[in-house]
């Protein structure tokens, strides 16, 4: 009796997309995880930009915008993702493991980049949830410290466990042999939880308005003459921060017309 050989056909990769291999996956909670994949040699991006990613297996795969959480110099690509029950992409994306493939459209873009801001002294990166991802890229890029004297990154989530990614990223940044020398003494991290007791509790907008945010970090209040702001996260947070900073004189910028604050439009509808 001759043995029958089964041929497994790899999923066809749609035109315009690249297939990259998953190298690492880390789950933080039942809602959040990060993963790293191989980086195409041809991919060039500015720290803070996003790309479209998806999963193989469908003729027209579901693609979603994901900020690249790794800096532009990294040899791999890192992403920070939410898990949505029944989500068109994340229902299966959360199940990936090293060796699996993801699809990538190699056309990075975005407004959460240093070029979209006017020169300034301090950079404030305000985030909620997975909105921390582009700032994980920016705080690990030496260019950010060449342009700003001080970098303040915030992360607000529901629980303390959901803040672990930002704590880990800031710690590794300060210890990194390449970026650490730039970040030491200049990178400040402020994390808060909204639904359970924590070192800092409450929404970042409330903590800004009460002054607790500035007192904790021992820094002066916001000043549009010197400060630049990036916003990424929930629509509610972005809306509320805008109501605080726009009356102060902060003006929204873009790649074509740099300003004193920027918002990533791809994630706010």
Q: Judge whether 5 lies within some domain.
A: no
The pLDDT of residue 269: 34
Number of helices (H), then strands (E), belonging to the chain: the values are: 8, 11
Picking from 109, 140, 169, the residue at the C-terminal end of a domain is 109
Residues 144 and 101 in one domain: no
Q: Percentage of the chain surpassing pLDDT 90?
A: 88
3-class state of residue 16 by DSSP = coil
Q: Decide which of 44, 78, 109 is a domain's last residue.
A: 109
Region 61-87: mean pLDDT is: 96
Give the pLDDT mean for 85-95.
94
Q: What is the pLDDT of residue 215?
A: 97
CA dihedral in degrees (262, 259, 115, 167; nearest 10)? -40
- Is 88 among the domain residues? yes
Please compute the mean of the pLDDT values over residues 66-72 and round it to a whole number. 97
User: In which domain, by residue range, is 204 found?
Assistant: 114-267
- What DSSP element (H or E) covers 50? strand 50-54
Q: Which residues of 86-99 are buried (b: 16+ CB within 10 A; e: fewer)?
A: eeebbeebbebeee
Mean pLDDT of 215-242: 97
In this structure, the answer to whether residues 139 and 209 fall within a common structural domain is: yes
Digit-coded pLDDT (tens) for 116-168:
999 999 999 999 999 999 999 999 999 999 999 999 999 999 999 999 999 99
**Average pLDDT estimate for 44-67:** 94
Shared domain for 251 and 217, answered yes or no, is yes
Residue 193 CA to residue 157 CA, distance in Å, equals 5
Q: How confident is the model at residue 9 (pLDDT cuts 50, 70, 90)?
A: low
Q: In the structure, what pLDDT confidence band is assigned to residue 267 with cuts at 50, 70 and 90?
A: low
Q: Is residue 229 in a domain?
A: yes
Same domain, 241 and 204: yes
Residue with tokens 């990075």: 108
pLDDT at residue 10 in the model: 60
End-to-end CA distance of the chain: 61
Residue 7 has pLDDT above 60, yes or no: no
Give CA angle at 205 (246, 194), nearest 5°: 160
Shared-domain flag, residues 151 and 247: yes
The domain total for the chain is 2
Q: pLDDT at residue 265 above 80?
A: no
Same domain? 150 vs 94 = no
- The whole-number pLDDT of residue 15 equals 87
DSSP single-letter state for residue 217: H
The pLDDT of 7-12, averaged and rounded, is 60
Q: Does the structure show a pLDDT above 60 at 8?
A: no
- % of the chain surpassing 70 pLDDT: 95
What would the two tokens of residue 163 be? Answer: 């803040």
Which is higher by pLDDT, 253 or 4? 253
Same domain, 22 and 148: no
Look over the chain and give the mean of its residue pLDDT values, rounded to a whole number: 94
H or E element at residue 20: strand 18-27
pLDDT tens for 175-220 read 999 899 999 999 999 999 999 888 899 999 999 999 999 999 999 9
* Mean pLDDT calculated for residue range 44-58: 95
């Amino acid at each position: 009796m001759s043995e029958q050989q089964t041929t497994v056909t790899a999923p066809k990769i749609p035109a315009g997309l690249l297939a990259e291999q998953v190298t690492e996956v880390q789950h933080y909670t039942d809602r959040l995880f990060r993963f790293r994949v191989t980086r195409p040699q041809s991919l060039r991006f500015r720290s803070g930009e996003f790309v479209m990613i998806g999963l193989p297996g469908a003729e027209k795969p579901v693609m979603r915008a994901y900020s690249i959480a790794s800096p532009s110099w990294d040899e791999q690509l890192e992403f920070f993702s939410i898990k949505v029950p029944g989500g068109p992409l994340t229902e299966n994306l959360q199940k990936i493991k090293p060796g699996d493939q993801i699809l990538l459209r190699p056309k990075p873009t975005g407004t959460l980049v240093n070029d979209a801001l006017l020169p300034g002294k301090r950079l404030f990166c305000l985030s909620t949830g997975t909105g921390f991802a582009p700032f994980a890229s920016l705080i690990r890029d030496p260019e950010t410290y060449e342009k700003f004297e001080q970098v303040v990154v915030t992360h607000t989530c529901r629980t303390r466990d959901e803040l672990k990614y930002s704590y880990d990223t800031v710690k590794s940044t300060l210890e990194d042999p390449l970026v650490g020398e730039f970040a030491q003494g200049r990178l400040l991290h402020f994390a808060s939880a909204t639904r359970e007791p924590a070192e800092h509790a409450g929404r970042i907008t409330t903590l800004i308005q009460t002054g607790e945010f500035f007192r904790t970090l021992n820094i002066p209040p916001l000043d549009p003459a010197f400060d630049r702001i990036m916003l990424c996260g929930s629509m509610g947070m972005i809306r509320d921060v805008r109501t605080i900073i726009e009356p102060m004189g902060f003006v929204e910028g873009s790649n074509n017309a740099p300003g004193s604050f920027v918002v990533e439009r791809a994630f706010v509808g």
